[in-house]
Chain A
Amino acid sequence: MNNGIYGIEIAWLDAVIRLHIIVGLMTVVVMGLIYVERKVLARFQQRLGPTRTGPAGLLQSVADGLKLVGKEDLRPRNADPWTFELAPYMVFIPVFLGFVIVPFAFGMQVRILELGLIYFVATSSLGIIGWVMAGWGSDNRYAMIGGMRAAAQGISYELPLVLSLISVAMVSQSFNLNDIVLSQSTYPNLLWQPLVLVIFIIAGLAELNRTPFDIPVGESEVVGGPFVEYSGIRWSFFFLAEYAALFIMGLIFAAVFMGGWAWPLGEELGRGWQILLVTVKTSLFIFLIFWIRASVPRLRIDQLMAFSWKILLPLTFVQVLINGAVLVYDAPLWILTITGLVGIVVLVRLIERAVRPSPAVNSEFVSVGNEGAS
């Protein structure tokens, strides 16, 4: 690599330019997502959502951003200065690093990494440190509890997430996201791995700290968790990280399960169509998450941990073992579809058994449910 500009190697320059494009894209997408979430959530609750700022409230995110930038950057007197002020970056940077491997279309990514999936999992789990730093540094009990909850939840749900991704990687025979997408040009992975798809969505919800797994930031319990003491630009960093993480999780979902830009029309498609396909698939995931947020109440912390360790993790282990057996003995892949569907049934049964209320409150639950449906 002798060719360079001003002594900087082309490869580095190229990466920097691509990263800058990503920064711009991410900011725009995050602002759009905040607007879309407010609109979609409003529609789920039969409200209108933002309407006053700009046409149909389109400038709401800009107004929010300006307001946040204009606010005073407060730090409590007893807070640990370094921990407190660095925490937003520790939350944001790992999320941003994840964008390095995401394939937007054929040949459109910052870098193709051989172990891209592992890289994604490794970077995304770093964010937990930032959450704990924010909780610890704030010197606030609510923030502390929130940070601890974030750590517990993040570490617990990391395992089902990683194992579900590994199980997909086994079928695709690669950790390289580009290869995974290419391997799905005829059949997407969700056909072979329905159980893992469900587990990925559940664990992804928990990783993103979204309802029903939003106990670290539950307003009614810990008044916003680690963010309690933050204001202005630092708080908006957390927000940016949250929605960027949502976006990237959607992209990973599209690439790993839905075949990214390759499925259903093959890889010869024009770039515009590829980007459209990825956008649609990502939006599907994001809409699903908004939908779940509008519907499902928050879990309790003990239910949360039990759900991860006693239900999700064993099921993913079983799926990985079955994958191994099927792949080693070259059995047809439809066996995986059947075991996956059976796995979903088992998962549903297990959840039903876990959440079954005691008989005394049972009737009450039923009546509430009926009211909601009518």
Chain B
Amino acid sequence: MRGIVKSLATTMSTFIRGPVTRGYPSKHRELPERDRAFPLLLWDKDIDEPFCTGCHACERACPVECMTVIMKDNPNHESQDGTSKRRKIVDEFWIDYGRCMRCNICVEVCNFEAIAMNNTWSGHETSVYDRADLVMDLPQLMAQSKSDEIQEWVAD
């Protein structure tokens, strides 16, 4: 009998506390700022070009070899009457999100703080119908940083 009363009290307390379930696909929980989704490239807003110089450091460090980087001479360099101090700059950059294991090593090795882990929901909801669509090219990797979608912590 005491057990019955106790169970009734328990269920009533859960009733009052309200649901803990979130209506996930329609409602997104706020992510922590150090949340680690897939790596992204950052955009230097002052000079209007990527931070990345295409130095291959991340490509060499990547344990699953999901990156491909191509470097070129920066057409915007000071020697060419440009505004940038970067002699070299990234030409093409691919990251295969299907292979990436989100280990954060590329962020650690980057000398220019040009790559960061995406800490928004767009980094988690990446489902596609074709595996090839998971290979991101330079404009796709830049888009988040250009439009200020990623949160503060990444850009530091």
Asked if A pairs with B, the answer is yes
Complex contacts, A292 vs chain B, CB 8 Å: 8
Return the contact of B9 from the options A43, A365, A373 (Cβ within 8 A).
Answer: A373
Complex contacts, B19 vs chain A, CB 8 Å: 42-43, 46-48
Q: Are A44 and B11 in contact (CB under 8 A)?
A: yes
CA separation between A355 and B3, bound complex, in Å? Answer: 10
Chain A interface main SS type: helix
Indicate with 1 or 0, residue by residue over A346-374, a CB within 8 angstroms of chain B CB atoms.
00100110010000000001000100110
Q: Are A372 and B10 in contact (CB under 8 A)?
A: yes
B19-53 interface with A by 8 A CB criterion: 19-21, 23
Complex contacts, A51 vs chain B, CB 8 Å: 23
Closest to A348 in B: B1
**Given A373-B9, A373-B10, do A295 and B23 touch, yes or no (CB 8 Å)?**
no
Q: Are A296 and B1 in contact (CB under 8 A)?
A: no
Q: Are B17 and A291 in contact (CB under 8 A)?
A: no
Complex contacts, B2 vs chain A, CB 8 Å: 352, 369
Q: Are B14 and A46 in contact (CB under 8 A)?
A: yes
CA separation between A294 and B21, bound complex, in Å? Answer: 17
Q: Are B15 and A295 in contact (CB under 8 A)?
A: no
Complex contacts, A351 vs chain B, CB 8 Å: 1
Q: Tell me how far the C-beta of A58 lies from the nearest C-beta in chain B, rounded to whole angstroms.
A: 15
CA separation between A348 and B21, bound complex, in Å? Answer: 37
CA separation between A292 and B3, bound complex, in Å? Answer: 13
Q: Are B1 and A369 in contact (CB under 8 A)?
A: no
Decide if A45 is an interface residue (CB 8 Å cutoff).
Answer: yes
Q: Are B3 and A46 in contact (CB under 8 A)?
A: no
Closest to B10 in A: A372
Q: Tell me how far the C-beta of A179 lies from the nearest C-beta in chain B, rounded to whole angstroms.
A: 35
Q: Are B14 and A372 in contact (CB under 8 A)?
A: no
Complex contacts, B10 vs chain A, CB 8 Å: 295, 372-373
Indicate with 1 or 0, residue by residue over A47-89, a CB within 8 angstroms of chain B CB atoms.
1100100000000000000000000000000000000000000
A-B interface contact total, Cβ < 8 Å: 53
CA separation between A46 and B15, bound complex, in Å? Answer: 7
B77-106 interface with A by 8 A CB criterion: none
**Given A295-B10, A373-B9, A373-B10, do A48 and B21 touch, yes or no (CB 8 Å)?**
yes
**Given A292-B8, A372-B6, do A43 and B1 touch, yes or no (CB 8 Å)?**
no
Complex contacts, A352 vs chain B, CB 8 Å: 1-2
**Given A46-B18, A48-B23, do A291 and B3 touch, yes or no (CB 8 Å)?**
no
Q: Are B21 and A46 in contact (CB under 8 A)?
A: yes
Q: Are A296 and B14 in contact (CB under 8 A)?
A: no
**Given A46-B21, A48-B19, A48-B21, do A294 and B1 touch, yes or no (CB 8 Å)?**
no
Q: Are B8 and A45 in contact (CB under 8 A)?
A: no
Q: Tell me how far the C-beta of A78 lies from the nearest C-beta in chain B, rounded to whole angstroms.
A: 42
Decide if B128 is an interface residue (CB 8 Å cutoff).
Answer: no
A17-48 interface with B by 8 A CB criterion: 40, 42-48
Return the contact of B1 from the options A45, A355, A365, A372 (Cβ within 8 A).
Answer: A355
Complex contacts, A43 vs chain B, CB 8 Å: 14-15, 18-19
**Given A46-B20, A51-B23, do A296 and B15 touch, yes or no (CB 8 Å)?**
no
Decide if B4 is an interface residue (CB 8 Å cutoff).
Answer: yes
Q: Tell me how far the C-beta of B117 lies from the nearest C-beta in chain A, rounded to whole angstroms.
A: 31
Complex contacts, B11 vs chain A, CB 8 Å: 44, 291, 294-295
- Can you list 24 A-B contacts (CB < 8 A)? A40-B15, A43-B15, A43-B19, A44-B11, A44-B15, A46-B17, A46-B18, A46-B19, A46-B20, A47-B21, A48-B19, A291-B8, A295-B7, A295-B8, A295-B11, A296-B4, A351-B1, A352-B2, A355-B3, A369-B2, A369-B6, A372-B7, A372-B10, A373-B9
- Chain A residues close to B by CB (< 8 Å): 40, 42-48, 51, 291-292, 294-296, 348, 351-352, 355, 365, 369, 372-373
Shortest 6 CB-CB contacts between residues of A and residues of B: A295-B7, A295-B11, A352-B1, A294-B11, A48-B21, A46-B20
